[in-house]
Amino acid sequence: MPGSAALYPIPAWGLPGEMPALEDAASVPGAGQRSRASLAMERHAEGDAAAFAEVYDALAGRLLRYLSRLERNAATAEDLVQQTFIRMHRARASFKRGADVEPWAFAIARRLFLDSRRSARRRFAEWLLPEPAPEVDAETILMARELGQAAHDRLESLPPLQREAFLLMREDGMSTAEAAATLGVTVAAIKLRAQRAYDALRVTVRSETGNETKGPA
Amino acid sequence: MTTSTRDPESPAVLRARVLAAVEAAPSPTRRALATRTAIAVVVVSTSLLGFALTGAAMRGGGHGWWAGGAVLMLAAACVTALKLGAGGRLLGWGALVPLLGLPLTALWVDDPFATLPIKTHVACVIMTLVVGVLGGGLLAFARRGTEPVAAGRAGLSLGLVAGAWAAASVALRCGHPEIDHTLGSHVAPVLVLCLLGVVAGKRVLGAGASATK
């Protein structure tokens, strides 16, 4: 279907043939250098109260985006962001010297989300279903929804660590090393899990798009 | 945390709200936490040392061996304090030294499988649990609210360290180094203390717990 690629709701990572390869931590630009947020967190851990605003400004957007995809309710996601920063502040003394703050912050956010989900038993966010563009025809909208739903269902059926590896690396742009530190697993394990998630989604998307092209004329 | 029913806020409002909440939340700096931890470790280790060396076992002779055990305990305490002070996790050596040291006591015993009355076993189990809970509780209180990611795991380590110290000090105090007594009445309670550590860690070490300056 010409021109339909941009209408599919899932291709944040591209169409099936365009799925990118996993990168090494060393290939990430700036890998090995500490971010400004990490340096600010270092100062905050030593007692510089003003430095925490820098940490907030550098991380709040990313954390809110991450939590908004996990938690459907936007206001609850904001509450989780607030709790994440409060916990970072309370635990500043245990922030490891020379460490990067990003994996630590995402790990705290993830822990908070898991705790809140465990208590509330809410559904996983249906973040793969954005509203389609208004000018497209009904058939395209329907197909886009079906494809998005299929990918969403497949993603939700994956083991939690595969799903989270995919979200952190493909949606939050984390390196393999950062995602591994966030989830508390090795780099090799995170690569394996993310690759399995890609493979599963690739099969699903190909299957859905294949069904479309083979459909009745 | 329940699902919020309010509308989402603008980024500026959220920023102001978060920074105000952070400012109102007390938290120790690295230096404050290191000081607090060092004090707790010194208090716990000297108390345990005094507890161990004032028991009936000391009056029975073998002072050289008991002094060696005390040195082991102090070494374990120092390693633990250094690990904690450096901001690292509570790790193995602080627990491993006393736990490995206990079974080694059998090397110096004439009859390592002598039968002891059940009362002796029970007394040592209870003493180990009480001493471990007190020591571990003090350490956990000193580091409350500082483990936002893996509080349960940190609690497990804390329970292991506190349990090992308690096991070693009570073993030195009771003076019955028979193998079955050592394993059943001194080492086995460490497992219980590890489980207690997991539960207490989630409640005390998790950053949801209050942390004062």
Contact A90 B149 (CB under 8 A): no
The answer to whether the beta carbons of residues A116 and A75 sit under 8 Å apart is no
Interface test with chain B among A87, A88, A95, A182, by most B beta carbons within 10 Å: A87
pLDDT-based confidence at residue B112 (cuts at 50, 70, 90)? low
| A96 DSSP assignment | P
Q: What would the pLDDT profile of A7-41 be if each residue is shown by its tens digit?
A: 333 334 333 334 344 444 433 445 457 788 899 99
The answer to whether the beta carbons of residues B37 and B81 sit under 8 Å apart is yes
CA-angle at B120, arms to B114 and B124, nearest 5°: 115
pLDDT at res. A25: 40
ipTM of the complex: 0.73
Q: Do you know the residue count of chain A?
A: 217
Contact B146 A45 (CB under 8 A): no
Contact A108 B148 (CB under 8 A): yes
Contact B14 A94 (CB under 8 A): no
Q: What would the pLDDT profile of A175-196 be if each residue is shown by its tens digit?
A: 888 888 888 788 888 888 888 8
Contact B5 A82 (CB under 8 A): no
Classify residue B2 by burial, with Cβ atoms within 10 Å: 0-12, 13-18, 19+: exposed
Q: What would the pLDDT profile of A67-105 be if each residue is shown by its tens digit?
A: 887 777 788 888 899 999 999 999 998 888 888 899 999
Nearby residues of B50 by Cβ (< 8 Å), 6 or more positions away: none
pTM of the model: 0.66
Residue A82 is which amino acid? Q
Q: Indicate the Cα dihedral angle B114, B115, B120, B126, nearest 10°.
A: 90
Q: Which of B7, B8, B148 is closest, CB to CB, to A91?
A: B148
Q: Tell me the C-alpha distance between B187 and B166, whole Å.
A: 9
Phi-psi region of A19 (alpha: psi -120 to 50; beta: other; left: phi over 0): beta
Distance from CA of A70 to the nearest CA of B (A): 13
